[in-house]
Amino acid sequence: MKLYYAPGACSLSPHISLREAGADFEIVKVDTATHRTETGADFKAINPKGYVPALVLESGDVVTEGAAVVQYIADRFPAAKLAPANGTLERTRLHEQLNFISSELHKAFSPLFSKTASAEAKDAAAAQVAKRFGNVESLLCDGRPHLLGETFSVADAYLFTVVNWGSVTGVSLEPWPHLTAYMKRIGERPAVRAAMQAEGLIAA
């Protein structure tokens, strides 16, 4: 398998998931401004939507959209237990969290990365991100170590990736002690550190 990624982007989530699964894969960096890969290839020929992640399978099929990619990885490598079994309430809880992260948290960050968004738009976005951080804080207040409870899942890979954007957009985690502890805990996982090192986000 081949994962197309941009350092620190939402593609970090499937990158972490692949490492947690012990998968055999390679990574290819994409310049999201020029839509060129590190080898100079046209990324839009791989994913016409032009954004990461894109996971190319051995068959040549391409899977896009982060929440779909991480669930494919979880189902492809069931021994890693990165997702509850299909058809269970627990799997629905995973869908619930992935949808929340994707639609409510991930998208809320968009104006904060925009070069054209007004100061008012960025302030509103930061307030929305903080509100969603509060939602996660409330969930973690019961002492659970991961989003779904005791076991690390692909939802944790996605949440860690998105919440980490707060450090580069100025949204502090200080008001959220449980979320702060969660980020530290997830960030210490060997697969998470390995993925971040491979993307140049932390020192080797």
pLDDT digits (tens, 9 = 90+) for 12-25: 999 999 999 999 99
pLDDT digits (tens, 9 = 90+) for 99-114: 999 999 999 999 999 9
Q: Which long-range contacts (CB under 8 A, 24 or more apart) does 8-11 make?
A: 8/161, 8/164, 8/165, 8/168, 8/199, 8/201, 9/52, 9/53, 10/52, 10/53, 10/66, 10/106, 10/158, 10/161, 10/162, 11/52, 11/53, 11/66
Domains in the chain and their CATH numbers? Answer: 2-80+192-198 (3.40.30.10), 89-189 (1.20.1050.10)
Would you state the structure tokens that stand for residue 130, as one six-digit string? Answer: 């903080």
116 pLDDT above the threshold of 90: yes
The pLDDT value given to residue 125: 97
pLDDT digits (tens, 9 = 90+) for 137-154: 999 999 999 999 999 999
Res. 56 pLDDT band, cuts 50 70 90: very high
DSSP structure class, residue 60: S
Tell me what the mean pLDDT of segment 16-41 comes to: 97
Percent of the chain with pLDDT over 90: 100
The pLDDT value given to residue 183: 98
The pLDDT value given to residue 204: 82
Can you name the residues that pair with 4 across neighbouring β-strands? 28, 54
